[in-house]
């Protein structure tokens, strides 16, 4: 299909875009030029080491020299002593991938020579300086069926423009022999071998490294995050964008999420190496998964009340607000069972991250035989905001509770003034519930990072529907302490 008919087939650009992005990511990773430059630096160091390991085959042949006759030559024990890649850069090729251009690379090679001419045999050693080596590598990034990233060398070319040789021995014709016969063969071998090493490094080093990206990142015993790629990474003129599913799910029983991610409108920021966009979908699937797993239920008993809180959780305390309790359930301990009737829905906007959870509070009296007598059911609604940070590669948060409103849903002990319970419930919420929730949130959600990456210089911003995190990256090579 030609370009024109493709354009016709797509009809409107909007349709093409809609088709290309059928699934919005719940989580997006953007690697900027600064990030690519850093990764490139690490990659070149690896490639330089690999190239120095290059094994070159022996070269032999016959060559006819005028007035002298037929010379049989053998070049053996070619040893690449070093390979230096002093100048290189990585660039984005929009809609294609990445390109690495290495220029003015140089290498030192030494080896042995042996010649046979009529009945004369001679041998010695030589060293070579290979200069002005240009290597151009195209990398194609993709994703496999499991949603892991893939990397492949789609193209590689090496051009050597200068080879200088020095022989031990004083035969001028050796130089002629070298430049006419050996150099072209040598150049061809080296050019091929370099690209083979490049392809091998991408296959054996880069690809396995990229695959350390956790496609399922475990949060805790209950839930994990699906960080599989929903599409191959996209190169634009400014960045490499990776769209991830970004869905939190229950490890015991994954169920379909009844809502879909909204598009993430990333700002053009580019001063950090990497940006993460965690959509409200990401956080809401967390809420959904924990709610479905029955994790959003919390029981408060008197033993949980901190020593410095005077309000003990018993009917004596509560009869100050509900006088009839004293007669109905005299001097008994109580228990509160807090639960969310539905998964709390979370909103992200430029002003921050907020949620308006609804919490049902069922109060019980604990009878002398340990069975529970239901007292009343309250509904607590409030405005909660979250402060977000990044710690050890995890998104961490802490909740701040704003004003809360209590209402009575049901009473087994007759009428009472709910307003009177407001302050005691506030105390329980802020002294017992919140510290426990915040301790959990402080463990955080793991970010999608491949092995041995540390983040620094963290930036946290809120945008419509998503949380934007910026960071610089530090890679710690194996064995680093």
Q: Contacting ligand NAG (CB under 6 A), which of 147, 374, 382, 393?
A: 382
Rank residues 86 and 341 by Cβ distance to ligand NAG and give the closer one. Answer: 341
Three-class DSSP labels, 414-441: CCCCHHHHHHHHHHHHHHHHHHHHHHHH
Rank residues 398 and 422 by Cβ distance to ligand NAG and give the closer one. Answer: 422
Binding map of ligand NAG across residues 150-189, x = CB under 6 A, - = no contact: ----------------------------------------
Q: CA of 397: how far to CAs of 349, 353, 426, 440, 460, in Å?
A: 16, 10, 21, 9, 12
Stretch touching ligand NAG by CB under 6 A, among 189-197, 310-318, 432-440, 460-468: 310-318
The Cβ of residue 60 has, within 10 Å, a number of other Cβ atoms equal to: 13
Q: Which H helix or E strand runs over 48?
A: helix 33-52
Binding map of ligand NAG across residues 349-368, x = CB under 6 A, - = no contact: ------------------x-
295 binds ligand NAG (CB under 6 A): no
Minimum distance from residue 371 beta carbon to ligand NAG (Å): 4
Q: Contacting ligand NAG (CB under 6 A), which of 180, 381, 407, 417?
A: 381
Q: Contacting ligand NAG (CB under 6 A), which of 188, 312, 391, 436?
A: 312
What is the rounded distance in angstroms from the CA atom of residue 197 to the CA atom of residue 50? 7
What is the rounded distance in angstroms from the CA atom of residue 434 to the CA atom of residue 85? 55
Bridge-partner residues for 274, per DSSP? 31, 471
Q: Contacting ligand NAG (CB under 6 A), which of 176, 316, 431, 438?
A: 316
**Total number of residues binding ligand NAG (CB under 6 A)?**
17
333 binds ligand NAG (CB under 6 A): yes
What is the rounded distance in angstroms from the CA atom of residue 364 to the CA atom of residue 354? 31
The Cβ of residue 185 has, within 10 Å, a number of other Cβ atoms equal to: 14
Minimum distance from residue 34 beta carbon to ligand NAG (Å): 38
Residue 427, classified by CB atoms within 10 Å of its CB into exposed (0-12), middle (13-18) or buried (19+), is middle
Minimum distance from residue 317 beta carbon to ligand NAG (Å): 4
Q: CA of 41: how far to CAs of 45, 47, 137, 276, 455, in Å?
A: 6, 10, 15, 22, 17
Rank residues 334 and 469 by Cβ distance to ligand NAG and give the closer one. Answer: 334
Residues that bind ligand NAG (CB under 6 A): 311-312, 314, 316-317, 331, 333, 367, 369, 371, 381-383, 402-405
């Amino acid at each position: 299909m030609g370009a024109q008919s493709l354009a016709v087939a797509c009809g409107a650009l909007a349709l093409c875009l809609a088709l290309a992005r059928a699934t919005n990511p719940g989580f997006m990773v953007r690697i900027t030029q600064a990030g690519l430059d850093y990764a490139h630096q690490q990659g070149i160091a690896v490639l330089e080491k690999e190239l120095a390991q290059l094994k070159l085959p022996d070269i032999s042949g016959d060559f006819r020299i005028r007035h002298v006759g037929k010379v049989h030559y053998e070049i053996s024990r070619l040893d690449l002593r070093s390979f230096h890649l002093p100048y290189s850069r990585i660039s984005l090729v929009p809609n294609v991938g990445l390109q690495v251009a290495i220029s003015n690379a140089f290498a030192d090679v030494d080896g042995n020579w042996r010649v046979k001419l009529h009945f004369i045999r001679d041998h010695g050693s030589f060293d070579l300086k290979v200069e002005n080596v240009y290597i151009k590598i195209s990398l194609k990034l993709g994703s496999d069926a499991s949603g892991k990233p893939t990397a492949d060398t789609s193209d590689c070319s090496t051009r050597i423009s200068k080879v200088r040789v020095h022989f031990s021995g004083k035969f001028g014709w050796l130089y002629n022999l070298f430049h006419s016969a050996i150099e072209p063969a040598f150049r061809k071998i080296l050019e091929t071998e370099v690209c083979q090493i490049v392809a091998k490094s991408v296959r054996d080093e880069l690809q396995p490294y990229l695959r350390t990206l956790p496609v399922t990142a475990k949060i805790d015993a209950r839930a994990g995050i699906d960080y599989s790629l929903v599409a191959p990474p996209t190169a634009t003129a400014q960045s490499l964008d990776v769209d991830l599913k970004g869905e939190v799910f229950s490890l015991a029983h994954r169920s379909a999420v009844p809502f879909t991610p909204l598009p993430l409108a990333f700002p053009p920021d580019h001063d950090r190496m990497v940006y993460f966009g965690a959509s409200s979908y990401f956080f809401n699937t967390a809420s959904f998964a924990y709610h479905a797993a029955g994790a959003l239920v919390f029981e408060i008993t008197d033993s949980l009340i901190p020593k410095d809180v005077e309000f003990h959780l018993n009917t004596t305390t509560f009869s100050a607000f509900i006088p009839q309790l004293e007669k109905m359930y005299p001097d008994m301990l109580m228990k509160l069972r807090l639960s969310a009737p539905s998964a709390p829905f979370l909103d992200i906007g430029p002003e921050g991250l907020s949620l308006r959870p609804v919490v049902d509070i069922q109060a019980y009296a604990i009878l002398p035989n340990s069975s529970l007598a239901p007292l009343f059911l309250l509904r607590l609604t409030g405005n909660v905001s979250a402060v977000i940070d990044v710690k050890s590669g995890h998104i961490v948060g802490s909740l701040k509770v704003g004003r809360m409103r209590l209402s009575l849903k049901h009473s087994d002990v007759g009428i009472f003034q709910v307003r009177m319970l407001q302050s005691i419930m506030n105390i329980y919420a802020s002294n017992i519930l919140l510290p426990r929730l915040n301790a959990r949130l402080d463990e955080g959600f793991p970010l999608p990072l491949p092995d041995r990456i540390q983040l620094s210089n963290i930036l946290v911003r809120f945008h419509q529907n998503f949380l934007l995190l910026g960071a610089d990256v530090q890679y710690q090579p194996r064995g680093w302490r």
